[in-house]
């Protein structure tokens, strides 16, 4: 079809007029086309929504089957420290457990030191351990038993203790430790009608941990029944220093923990075959929470009685608790 053209008449542009007329007449058609496109888009969205709803219905129908549910399982990163269990309402996640009063296994070390594990540690005899009132079968020690042999012999028995060799940096020692830990084997306190007391013995008195743990468990009075003395050959040179060291370390427990400390010590001489025996030096005492001697005796048999002042305990408890809070805040600040 031939194109229609118009020539101007008196300056009138008929081509522009026709184009404008066609565009105006086409607008309803164009609007209908746009509406059609919009409806197609909505239809596609509804189809997609229908598919999603159908999938959801399928999954919802399957929820009636208990086989789809898996019971929560809890695990501990260190079963030697603690175990974990979960109930039916357990929430998934990773949790950190901080244990404040985990009892440490009892440990003792040989007083003798050795340059090497091959050094002879024993030349005969037998060795046994009493654990919970039960004595283990004796281990026969042959002549020339080395430090390593002794450790292996103890561990081979598989009793309630285990042996290890510790390198102190300058020498080696045999260390014996209990295989058992936990509350049943830890430090304890007893609530009496007079006060809450803790009883610690022997080497407990020379280190701060036992006193601190027992005080935090609520002890107001710490008792240290003791059997310590001099070897006669050492008394002149070291006797006074040994007594003062023994008393001072226990007075420090009273001060650090805000408790009374009562330390009865044995007196008299005990013979020991092959040696000059041991003379127990007495000097039993009671110290208040400021570490002051409030009752003390000498090297003779004696009975010490002291009435503890509860008000003094409360003053010192406040100081101890404030220190514990302050240490806690310091720890938190380091974690930030």
Note the CATH number of domain 187-335: 3.60.110.10
pLDDT, position 335: 40
H helices of the chain, in order, are: 14-62, 147-157, 208-216, 232-257, 310-335
**Short-list 221, 113, 243, CA closest to 172:** 113
Query: For residues 182 and 290, what is the distance between their CA atoms, to the nearest angstrom?
Result: 32
Give the Cβ contact number of residue 134 at 10 Å: 9
pLDDT, position 336: 35
pLDDT, position 18: 72
Spell out the per-residue pLDDT of the chain, length 336, in tens: 455 555 555 566 667 777 777 777 777 777 888 888 888 888 888 888 888 888 888 877 777 665 555 566 777 776 665 677 776 666 666 666 655 544 555 667 777 888 999 998 888 888 888 776 788 888 888 888 998 998 999 888 888 788 888 888 888 888 888 777 666 667 889 999 988 999 998 788 898 989 998 988 889 999 999 999 988 888 889 889 999 999 999 999 999 898 999 999 999 999 888 888 889 999 999 999 999 999 999 989 999 888 888 877 776 666 555 555 444 444 444 443
Query: For residues 108 and 86, what is the distance between their CA atoms, to the nearest angstrom?
Result: 38
pLDDT, position 137: 85
Residue ranges of domains in the chain: 107-178, 187-335
Which residues are 135's β-sheet partners? Answer: 130
């Amino acid at each position: 079809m031939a194109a229609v053209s118009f020539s101007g008449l008196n300056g009138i542009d008929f081509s522009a007029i026709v184009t404008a007329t066609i565009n105006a007449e086409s607008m309803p058609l164009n609007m209908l086309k746009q509406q059609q496109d919009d409806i197609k888009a909505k239809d596609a969205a509804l189809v997609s929504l229908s598919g999603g709803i159908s999938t959801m219905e399928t999954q919802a129908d399957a929820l009636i089957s208990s086989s789809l549910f898996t019971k929560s399982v809890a695990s501990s990163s260190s079963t030697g420290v603690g175990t974990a269990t979960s109930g039916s309402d357990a929430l998934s996640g990773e949790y950190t457990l901080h244990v404040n009063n985990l009892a440490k296994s009892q440990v003792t070390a040989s007083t003798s030191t050795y340059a090497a594990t091959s050094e002879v540690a024993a030349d005969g005899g037998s060795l046994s351990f009493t654990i919970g009132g039960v004595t283990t079968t004796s281990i026969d020690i042959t002549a020339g038993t080395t430090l390593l042999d002794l450790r292996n012999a103890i561990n081979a028995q598989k009793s309630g203790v285990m042996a290890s060799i510790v390198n102190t940096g300058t020498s080696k020692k045999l260390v014996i430790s209990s295989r058992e830990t936990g509350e049943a084997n830890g430090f304890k306190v007893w609530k009496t009608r007079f006060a809450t007391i803790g009883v610690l013995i022997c080497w407990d008195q020379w280190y701060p941990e036992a006193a601190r743990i027992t005080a935090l468990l609520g002890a107001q009075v710490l008792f240290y029944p003791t059997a310590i003395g001099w070897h006669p050959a050492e008394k002149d040179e070291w006797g006074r220093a040994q007594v003062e060291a023994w008393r001072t370390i226990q007075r420090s427990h009273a001060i650090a923990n805000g408790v009374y400390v009562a330390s009865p010590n044995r007196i008299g001489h005990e013979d020991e075959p092959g040696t000059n025996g041991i003379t127990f030096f007495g000097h039993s005492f009671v110290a208040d929470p400021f570490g002051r001697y409030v009752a003390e005796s000498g090297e003779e048999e004696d009975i010490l009685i002291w009435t503890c002042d509860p008000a003094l305990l409360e003053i010192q408890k406040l100081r101890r608790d404030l220190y514990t809070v302050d240490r806690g805040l310091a720890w938190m600040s380091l974690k930030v």
